[in-house]
C-alpha cells in the first residue's frame, strides 16, 4: 500500500469517499447545470436565491468546522469566532469597495462613506487595498496574527475553561464597538455594501455567482479534509488527550500550549477565509457580524450537529441556518425562542449532537446484529 493510498484510507473509508464524491458532484456539476443551463421556467431550475443561500450556509459550515477543531477536539470553547469571520470579510471587503471605483453614489474614486465624511485620502489601513493579492493575504494574516498574539499570552498564562470563553467574548465585543466608529475607517455601523465587481467582472451576473458558489464548495471540502487529516494524525490524538486530561499530557512531556496555539490560530484563519467568501455572495459586511450573539450561535451549530465529529459541524450549521432562513421570514419574532429551545433540547436529549446520536444508534444496531449471529458464522 503506497503512501497516498494509506493516507486516503486513513481519512475515510470507501463509503466516506463515495459520499464526499457525491456531494462534490452535486456542488460542481448538478447545481451549476440547474442554475445556468436549465431555463427559469423549468421546475428543476435553481434560482439565484438558492445559490446565494446555500453558498452562505457553506461559509457558515467552514466556520463550524473551525470551531469543532478547537472545541470538539481540543476542548477550547471560543465565544469570539465571529470576530475572525468578520475580519476576513472586512479584509476582502476593502478590495470590493475599491472595485466600485467611480460607480458609487457620489461618483468619486473613494467609497461613498469616505466622501460623505469629507475624507481627502485613504487611511493607512487601506494601503494597496486595490490589489486582490494583498487583500487575499490580509484575509489570512489579520485574523491569524490576532489569534496568534491573543492565544500566545492566553495559553502561556494557562487561561482555559469558562475564563477563556469570557475573554474571547469580551475581545469580539470590544472589536465590534471599535468598528462601529466612523473614525476607524471601515464604514461605521453601515459597514461595506453595494459591491459591483471582482477582477472587473460584474459580481451579480449568474456566472460570477456560480463561480463564488463553486469556490466556496471547494473550500468547504478542503477544510473538511484538512480537519480530517489533523484529527486522524498523531497531532490530533494529542489534541484529544489535551481535551480529556491536559495535566497528564503535560506530565508526559508535551508542551500543550504549542498544540493549542497552532490549532487556535489555524481555526481563526479558516474563519477569515469563510468571511472573505461570505461577503461577495451576501453583499454586505458590518460590525453586527462581530456581535457576541453571533459567536454564541456558532457554538450552537457545533453542539447541535455533534462535537468532535467534523461532519456534525456541517450538519449543525446547515440545520440551524436553514431553519433561521425560513423562520426569520415567516415568524421573525420567534426565531430566537426557537434557537434557545433547540439548544436546550439538544443539551438534554442529544448531548452528543445529531451525528453523535446517529453514530450511537448505528453502534447499538451492530452490537445487536453481532449478538444474534451464530457462533462460527459471520453476518
Residue 218 has pLDDT above 80, yes or no: yes
Contact 143, 88 (CB under 8 A): yes
Confidence (pLDDT) at 248: 94
Residue 326 has pLDDT above 50, yes or no: yes
Tell me the whole-structure pTM to 2 decimals: 0.94
Confidence (pLDDT) at 366: 82
Contact 75, 243 (CB under 8 A): yes
Grid look-up 433547540 returns: 342
234-287 pLDDT tens trace: 999 999 999 999 999 999 999 999 999 999 999 999 999 999 999 999 999 999
DSSP classification of residue 131: -
Q: Average pLDDT for residues 102-109, to the nearest whole number? A: 88
Q: Average pLDDT for residues 82-108, to the nearest whole number? A: 94
Confidence (pLDDT) at 133: 96
Nearest to 141 by CA among 272, 276, 316: 272
Q: What percent of the chain has pLDDT over 70?
A: 98
Q: Average pLDDT for residues 223-229, to the nearest whole number? A: 97
Judging by DSSP bridges, how do beta strands 284-285 and 201-202 pair with one another? unpaired
Listed in sequence order, the residues at least 6 apart from 68 whose beta carbon sits closer than 8 Å to its beta carbon are 227, 302, 307, 308, 309, 310, 312, 313
Residue 377 has pLDDT above 80, yes or no: no
Confidence (pLDDT) at 342: 85
Task: At 33, list the grid cell.
Answer: 447545470
Q: In this structure, is the dihedral angle defined by the CA atoms of residues 156, 157, 162 and 167, taken in order, positive or negative?
A: negative
Confidence (pLDDT) at 318: 95
Q: Phi and psi dihedrals of 202, rounded to 5? A: -55, 130
The more confidently predicted of residues 173 and 1 is 173
pLDDT category, 372, cuts 50, 70, 90?
Answer: confident
* Distance of alpha carbon 132 from alpha carbon 265, whole angstroms: 23
How high is the mean pLDDT of the chain? 92
Confidence (pLDDT) at 178: 96
Residue 373 has pLDDT above 70, yes or no: no
Confidence (pLDDT) at 81: 95
Residue 335 has pLDDT above 90, yes or no: no
| Buried residues in 68-89 as b, exposed as e (16+ CB within 10 A) | bbbbbbbbbbbbbbbbbbbbbb
Confidence (pLDDT) at 379: 42
Residue 161 has pLDDT above 60, yes or no: yes
Confidence (pLDDT) at 3: 82
* Distance of alpha carbon 166 from alpha carbon 124, whole angstroms: 32
Confidence (pLDDT) at 196: 92
- Which of 58-62, 101-105, 188-192, 303-307 tops mean pLDDT? 58-62
Q: How far is CA 55 from CA 60, 241, 275, 282, 285, in A?
A: 9, 35, 12, 9, 15
Upper half-sphere CA count for residue 250 (Cβ side, 13 Å): 10
Weakest-pLDDT range from 72-86, 110-124, 352-366: 352-366
Listed in sequence order, the residues at least 6 apart from 323 whose beta carbon sits closer than 8 Å to its beta carbon are 338, 342
Nearest to 62 by CA among 173, 204, 226: 226
Amino acid at each position: 500500500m503506497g503512501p497516498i493510498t494509506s493516507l486516503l484510507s486513513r481519512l475515510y473509508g470507501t463509503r466516506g469517499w463515495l459520499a464526499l464524491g457525491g456531494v462534490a458532484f452535486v456542488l460542481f456539476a448538478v447545481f451549476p447545470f440547474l442554475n445556468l443551463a436549465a431555463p427559469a421556467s423549468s421546475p428543476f431550475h435553481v434560482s439565484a436565491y438558492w445559490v446565494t443561500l446555500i453558498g452562505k450556509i457553506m461559509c457558515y459550515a467552514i466556520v463550524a468546522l473551525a470551531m469543532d477543531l478547537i472545541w470538539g477536539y481540543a476542548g477550547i470553547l471560543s465565544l469570539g469566532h465571529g470576530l475572525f469571520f468578520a475580519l476576513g470579510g472586512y479584509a476582502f471587503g476593502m478590495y470590493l469597495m475599491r472595485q466600485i471605483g467611480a460607480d458609487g453614489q457620489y461618483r468619486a474614486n473613494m467609497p461613498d462613506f469616505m466622501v460623505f465624511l469629507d475624507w481627502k485620502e485613504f487611511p493607512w489601513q487601506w494601503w494597496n487595498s486595490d490589489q486582490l493579492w494583498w487583500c487575499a493575504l490580509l484575509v489570512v494574516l489579520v485574523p491569524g496574527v490576532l489569534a496568534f498574539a491573543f492565544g500566545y499570552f492566553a495559553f502561556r498564562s494557562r487561561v482555559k475553561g469558562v475564563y477563556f470563553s469570557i475573554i474571547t467574548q469580551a475581545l469580539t465585543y470590544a472589536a465590534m464597538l471599535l468598528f462601529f466608529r466612523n473614525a476607524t475607517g471601515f464604514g461605521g455601523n453601515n459597514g461595506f455594501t453595494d459591491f459591483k465587481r471582482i477582477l472587473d467582472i460584474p459580481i451579480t451576473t449568474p456566472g460570477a455567482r456560480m463561480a463564488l458558489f463553486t469556490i466556496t464548495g471547494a473550500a468547504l471540502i478542503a477544510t473538511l479534509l484538512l480537519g480530517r487529516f489533523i484529527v486522524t494524525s498523531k497531532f490530533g490524538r494529542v489534541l484529544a488527550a489535551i481535551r480529556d486530561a491536559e495535566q497528564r499530557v503535560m506530565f508526559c512531556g508535551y508542551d500543550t500550549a504549542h498544540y493549542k496555539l497552532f490549532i487556535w490560530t489555524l481555526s481563526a484563519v479558516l474563519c477569515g477565509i469563510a468571511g472573505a467568501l461570505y461577503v461577495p455572495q451576501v453583499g454586505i459586511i458590518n460590525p453586527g457580524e462581530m456581535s457576541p450573539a453571533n459567536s454564541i450561535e456558532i457554538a450552537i451549530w457545533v453542539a447541535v450537529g455533534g462535537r468532535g465529529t467534523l461532519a456534525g459541524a456541517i450538519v449543525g450549521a446547515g440545520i440551524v441556518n436553514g431553519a433561521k432562513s425560513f423562520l426569520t421570514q415567516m415568524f421573525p419574532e420567534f426565531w430566537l425562542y426557537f434557537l434557545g429551545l433547540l439548544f436546550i433540547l439538544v443539551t438534554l436529549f442529544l448531548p452528543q449532537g445529531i451525528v453523535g446520536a446517529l453514530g450511537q444508534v448505528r453502534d447499538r444496531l451492530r452490537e445487536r446484529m453481532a449478538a444474534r449471529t451464530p457462533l462460527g458464522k459471520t453476518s
